[in-house]
Amino acid sequence: MLHTVFFDLDGTLTDSAPGILACVRYALDKLGVEPGAQVTAANFIGPPLSTSFSKVYGLNSEDTARAVAYYRERFSTVGLFENSVYPGVPQMLQALRDAGKRLVLATSKPEIYTIRILEHFDLAKYFDEVAGATLDESRSDKPAVLRYGMELCGIVSGEGCAMIGDRASDITSGHSCGMLGIGVLYGSGSLEELQSADYLAATPADIVPLLLGL
C-alpha cells in the first residue's frame, strides 16, 4: 500500500517557468553570452542549474559557477515569486492528506528557496517534510535529494513510495530509490520523455484517484 508520496516542485506543483527563464537570461546577459533560442523550460527546469548552464552553453566550470551566482542574484529577490500554483494543486494535496498519505517535497532547487516558495503560496502546510538541494550543490541531483527525503522520514526502502514529477529525471530517480515513478503531463516535460513512468496523470485532479487506487 502506498504510504508516502514525494512531489517535485517546478512543473509539478507550480508553473515556475517565467521566473526561472527570466533569471537564466539575466545571468547570461551579465556573463556576456548570447541566450539564443536555448532558454527553454525543457533545458532549464528539472536538472540542477549548473548542469543546465554547462550542458546547454558549453560553459567551463568557472563560468558555470558565475552563471549560477548571477542567476541567484535575481532569483533570490524577484524570480522565485514569478511563479504560480497550477489550478487544482491545493485541492489535490489536501485530498491526499485527508486520505492519510505522508507528503514530501523533493526538488533539485535549493532548499532555502523552496521553503520560501512553499510558504509564499501557502503550500508548506501540506508537507510533512521538505527535501531540497544545498546552495553549494553538494546535494543537488534528484536521487541524492530523494535519499535525503527518505532519511528525514525514517524510510529505508522505496517500497510503498511514489515520486511524482514532470521530467524523466524524476521518474528515473524514483526508480533508482525503489519507488514508483508517476509522470505529470501538464508541466515542462514531454510525453516522450515520460515513457518510463509507471503511471501518467494529465491533471492534478487525476493524481488523487490514481494514488488512492495503489
172-185: per-residue pLDDT in tens? 999 999 999 999 99
Residue of 72, 76, 82 whose CA lies nearest to 48: 72
The predicted-structure confidence for 44-85, as pLDDT tens digits, reads as follows 998 889 999 999 999 999 999 999 999 999 999 999 999 999
- Structural fold of domain 17-81: DNA polymerase; domain 1 (1.10.150)
Domain boundaries, given as residue ranges, for the chain:
4-15+83-212, 17-81
DSSP letters for 40-81: -HHHHSSS-HHHHHHHHH---HHHHHHHHHHHHHHHTTTGGG
Q: Is the pLDDT of residue 193 over 90?
A: yes
Q: For residue 202, what pLDDT is reported?
A: 97
pTM for this one? 0.94
What are the helix (H) ranges across the chain?
17-31, 41-44, 49-57, 61-75, 89-98, 111-120, 142-153, 168-176, 204-212
Residue type, 29: D
- 142/171 Cα distance (integer angstroms): 10
The predicted-structure confidence for 4-39, as pLDDT tens digits, reads as follows 999 999 999 999 999 999 999 999 999 999 999 999
The predicted-structure confidence for 114-139, as pLDDT tens digits, reads as follows 999 999 999 999 999 999 999 988 89
DSSP 10: B
Q: Is the pLDDT of residue 140 over 90?
A: no
- Set 8, 10, 15, 166: catalytic member: 8
Q: For residue 178, what pLDDT is reported?
A: 98
| Superfamily classification of domain 4-15+83-212 | HAD superfamily/HAD-like (3.40.50.1000)
- 8 catalytic per annotation: yes
Q: For residue 154, what pLDDT is reported?
A: 97
